[in-house]
Structure formats: C-alpha cells, structure tokens
Structure 1
Amino acid sequence: MPPTRRVRFEAHTAYTAPHGSRAAVVGVAEQWGGVPDAVARMAESPELLTGFLRLSAAFDGVTLDPLARETVVMTVATRNDCHVCVELHTAKLRRLGADAESVAALRAGTGLRDERLEALRDFTLRVLATAGGVGDHELTAFLAQGFTRRNALEVVLGIGAYTMSTLANRLVRAENVQHPAG
C-alpha cells in the first residue's frame, strides 16, 4: 500500500478565500493586524468561519467576566487537545492579567486555586461530559459560587463556539502562526 500523503488545508488570504469568507478574513486581518492560521484555514468554509466568528462575538458579549470566559475557552481547548487554541488563549489570559499559576493550571487541565473559577471549570467539564445533563448537585455548586442560571447557559454558548473552533483547528491542522493581511 503506498504511503498516505498528508492532507493540507490552504491558508487563505483575502484574495484566495472563497467569496463568502473574504469579508471575514479582511475583518480579522484589520482587527489582528494579520490573519491567524486557524482563521486562514477555516476560511475554506465560509459558513464555518462566519458562524464561529459570530458565536465567539456573542460569547464575548455575555455577562461572564473576561477571565471567566477565558476559563471556559481554555477548559474546552485543553479537553479537546487543541494546541493552537491553548497558545492563543494563553496569550489572551496573560493580557487579562491572569496569574501564572492559574494559566499553568488551565493549560494542564488541572484544578484552579480560585474557588469561583474552579467551580466554572468543573461545571464546564460536567456540561461536556454529560452532554448538558448536569445534575442538580453540580448546578447548585456552580450557582453557590455566585454564578447565575443565565451564566450556566452562557457556558453552553462558549462550549458550542469553542468546540466548533477546536475541532476545526485540529482538522485543518492549524498552527500558531499569523499570515500577512493580503
């Protein structure tokens, strides 16, 4: 049997992306000063790229604070073994001023010292493990840390957006590089 050739997804630019992805690629390039490899490769599917960007923007607008949102994202990224996501969101955590110990724990998928964020991390994992069938005990423990029922649903939104991203990034073999805007 001949050796299997590694399949590569093209890292698109605004000029090579399918028509439906071009505006999204241009928008990301303007916002980031370039196009992250994950976006460049997801651009192969306009529906996936624009869907992810819309969902991640919606997640950015929820009532969870930025550090809590990044806790959800990193929990999904480490669980789904998306190395590029872990690297991108490690940088975001650092920009948010997260302490080194918390960043290391999130990267390793281990418990956090901060009880509130650990409750959020644990709740995120339970939602994933049970496909949303979280028991009353776990939901009560989450709510006891000052989270709301709305926050519980916001976690589901974050899981949805970043499960899409992590699976796509692994499929397209995204790397932690940024391409020029053009």
Structure 2
Amino acid sequence: MTITASPSHSTSPDPTAFPAHTVDSAPAAARPALRATGDRLGYLPSAVARMATSPQTLDGFLKLSGIFESTTLPQLDREVLILTIATRNDCHVCVAMHTAKLTAMGADPGLIEALRAQQPLTDSRLEALRAFTLEVLATAGAVTEPGLQAFLAQGYTGRNALEVVLGIGTYTLSTFANRLTGAPVDEQLMAFAPQ
C-alpha cells in the first residue's frame, strides 16, 4: 500500500522552525524527556527531537501516551486504534513505528496489512473498534446510536468508548505534530515505512 501526502501537506518545512534537537540543543524543559526517551529506546526518534521545539507539546504527548497505555483497552486494541489514526491522518512516521510495534508483538501480518491499507479487518471485534474510531473522528464524537451499539455489541463498554476518545486525542496530537514538522522515518524503522 502506498501512503502519499495530501496536496496541502508540506513535506519540507523550514528546518529552522523545527530543528531535530539533541539533548544539548533542546529547550531546557524538554531535555529530561529527550534523555528518558533516548535511554528507553536506545535512540532519539526524529519526531520526538522535533516536537521538543515545544516542551509543553512533547510533555503533553508523552503524558497522554502513558495514560492511554494504562487504559482497559488491551495492547493489541490500542495498537489497532493508533494505526487506524496514523493511516487516516497520513502520518508516515506513526505508520512505520506502530507497524514495527505490531510486528514485534507477533500480530497477524494480515491484520497489519489491512490496517495499513485502511481496509476492513477480518476479526469482528477489532473491526468494530476500527469502525468506531473512524466514526468518532468523522462525527467529532457525535456517533450514531447504531455505531455505538455495534461497538458495544463486541464486548466493549462505555469506558472503552471514552478510552477511544483519549487515544484519538493522543495520536491526533502526534500525527499532526509529525506532519507539521516534517519528521522523517528513522533509520531504525525504515523497514516498516510506507512505500
């Protein structure tokens, strides 16, 4: 599947506006987060390095991401939601990163390919999550009653529905920031990058 930037997306932002910060060059308030991210991953992702231009944006994303990881949605479900948002928002960095994460988790390659191609999933529960996520996005939260009931019929709860909103907010922030800053896919993730 080929993911291409929409015509309004600038792939070459002014590099002085969004530099790829190092721990030393970043604003002081962003340095602890950059150091911790680099230590945890073994490298500093370019998306994080560029987001550090605004320490508050970086801090907000990292905190929200941690909170989303603590929800009652299972890890596979969270990754399905994230990759759904990443492909919808055309964020090549998030597509690569979360394809890599799903692959490391041992997720079904067919599931990953369907998510990357923005196609329905064969797993009815995960498809209900994907469809609900897309409806929440399309309606700005004004989901139809049938849309909500289809989600709940797969064993999800009202709590899960609100956790979907949290995931959407978290990964809308990162996908928009990555597109705005023109963050490239890191070498470590190149094998998972959209073609």
Scaled to the shorter chain, the TM-score interval is: over 0.9
Given the alignment, which residue of 30, 33, 39 partners 1:24? 33
Shift, 1:176, TM fit: 1.3
Tell me, yes or no, if the aligned pair for 1:35 and 1:178 is still in contact at 8 Å. Answer: no
Tell me, yes or no, if the aligned pair for 2:132 and 2:151 is still in contact at 8 Å. Answer: yes
Shift, 1:72, TM fit: 0.6
Shift, 1:178, TM fit: 6.0
The unaligned stretches of length 5 or more in structure 1 are: none
Tell me, yes or no, if the aligned pair for 1:10 and 1:40 is still in contact at 8 Å. Answer: yes
The unaligned stretches of length 5 or more in structure 2 are: 1-11, 189-195
User: What is the match of residue 7 of structure 1?
Assistant: 14
Given the alignment, which residue of 43, 55, 65 partners 1:34? 43
Given the alignment, which residue of 87, 91, 104 partners 1:95? 104
Letter in 2 for 1:34: Y
Identity %: 57
User: What is the match of residue 50 of structure 1?
Assistant: 59
Q: Distance in 1 between matches of 2:14 and 2:66?
A: 30
Shift, 1:135, TM fit: 1.2
Tell me, yes or no, if the aligned pair for 1:37 and 1:178 is still in contact at 8 Å. Answer: no
1:73 aligned onto 2:82: yes
Q: Distance in 2 between matches of 1:32 and 1:16?
A: 19
User: What is the match of residue 149 of structure 1?
Assistant: 158
Normalization by structure 2: what TM-score? 0.87
Shift, 1:70, TM fit: 0.4
Shift, 1:75, TM fit: 0.6
Shift, 1:97, TM fit: 1.2
The CA RMSD over aligned residues, in Å, is 1.2
Q: Distance in 1 between matches of 2:92 and 2:52?
A: 19
Shift, 1:6, TM fit: 4.8
Tell me, yes or no, if the aligned pair for 2:13 and 2:180 is still in contact at 8 Å. Answer: no
Q: Distance in 2 between matches of 1:45 and 1:109?
A: 31
Q: Secondary structure at the match of 1:35?
A: coil
Normalization by structure 1: what TM-score? 0.94
